[in-house]
Amino acid sequence: MSQHDRTHHAKIATGKGDPQCFKGTTGGPPKFKVGDRVRIKDLPDIFYTRCQVYTRGAVGEVAVITHESPAPEDEAWGHVDHSEWFYIVRFKQKDLWPEYPDAFGNDSLQTEFSERWLELA
Amino acid sequence: MSASTRDEVMRHLKAVAEIQPPVQQTGKAPYASDLTHEQYRAYLRSPHDVGGEVDVPVEWTEEESEAWGYRAYVTTECLAWRGVWCAEQRRRMQNVDLGTTQYLGLPYYGRWLLAAARILVDGGHITLTELMNKLDEVKKRHEPAR
C-alpha cells in the first residue's frame, strides 16, 4: 500500500556509513574553527532537537570539527537534502551549572552541535 | 470473559491514576492567558533532554540482556535497511514522541518496539487495524485455555 522511497538513507549510506555518506554535502567550509569561543543559541524548542537546553546561552570552545550531516531537526523526519557542519564544543562545568563546586573548577563537558546552534561569542 | 475484562479496565484506571504526575495546577487544558511562558516551555521540553532536571542518584546495576530486546533491536535495524526510516527518525519516535510518562516508565527496548510499530503504521506499511488484529491474535495464544 505504501509508495515509500527506497532511495532513502539506507541506500546512500550503504558501503560508506553515516555520517560519511554526507561528506561534502554542505558545499562549503565550516563557519567556525577549533578554538573559537562560541555561544549556544536559544532557538525555539518544538517537537525535536538534540541541542540540550542546559547549554543554551552558555559559552564554550570549539574542540573538534566533526562531520557534515543533515541536522537532527531535519533528519528526524527523513529530510536529508540540506547538510550542516557539526562541532564538539567544550564547556567549563562551572559555566553550565551555577552551583558547581569550585573544588572541581577544571571540570569540563563536551557535547555536539550542528552549526545552526552556534554563534561567535 | 466480560466480567474479567471489566475488572481489568477498573484496575487499569487505577494504575493510570498512580502514574499521573502530581497535579500542580488546578484544572486541565488552561486558557492561554493562564499559562506562563515558563510553563509553556516546560510542557514542550523533550522527554529525553534530562540534563539539569532535579533527580536522585541512580544506582548502577548490570542487567542481563533479554532475547526479546535483541529481537526488537534487530527489527528496527531491518526497518532501516529497507528504507522505512533512519536512525534519527527512530530516536525521535522512541525518545520524544511518546511523551515523558512512557519515556520514563517503559523498558528501554519496549520503546524501540513501540517506535517500530508506530513507523509501520505512520508510513502506511500496515494499518492500525492489522496491527490490532495481530496483537489480539497473539494475546489469545497466550491466554490460559478456558
**pLDDT tens for residues A12-46?**
888 898 899 999 999 999 999 999 999 999 999 89
Confidence (pLDDT) at A82: 95
Through-space distance between the first and last CA atoms of chain B, rounded to whole angstroms = 10
pLDDT one-digit tens code per residue, B23-72: 566 667 888 898 888 888 988 899 999 888 888 888 999 988 899 999 99
Q: Does B103 touch chain A (CB under 8 A)?
A: no
User: Using the 8-state DSSP alphabet, how is residue B141 labeled?
Assistant: H
Residue of A40, A52, A80, A97 to mutate for B, most B C-beta atoms under 10 A: A52
What domains are defined for chain B?
85-146 (1.10.472.20)
Q: Does A43 touch chain B (CB under 8 A)?
A: no
The pTM (predicted TM-score) of the whole model is 0.87
Helices (H), chain A: 9-13, 72-75, 93-96
Other CB atoms within a 10 A radius of the CB of residue A52 amount to 18
From B23's Cα to the closest Cα of chain A, the distance in A is 24
- The per-residue b/e assignment along A5-35, b for 16 or more CB within 10 angstroms, e otherwise, is eeebbbeebeeeebbebbeebbeeebbbeee
From B17's Cα to the closest Cα of chain A, the distance in A is 26
pLDDT one-digit tens code per residue, B99-130: 988 999 999 999 999 999 999 999 999 999 99
Q: Does A46 touch chain B (CB under 8 A)?
A: yes
pLDDT one-digit tens code per residue, B4-31: 888 888 888 888 878 776 656 666 788 8
Q: What string of pLDDT tens digits covers the 121 residues of chain A?
A: 344 565 567 788 888 988 999 999 999 999 999 999 999 999 998 999 999 999 999 999 999 999 999 999 999 999 999 999 999 999 999 999 989 999 999 999 999 999 999 999 9
C-alpha Rg value of chain B to the nearest Å:
19
Q: Is the pLDDT at B97 greater than 90, yes or no? A: yes
Other CB atoms within a 10 A radius of the CB of residue A89 amount to 25
What domains are defined for chain A?
22-120 (2.30.30.50)
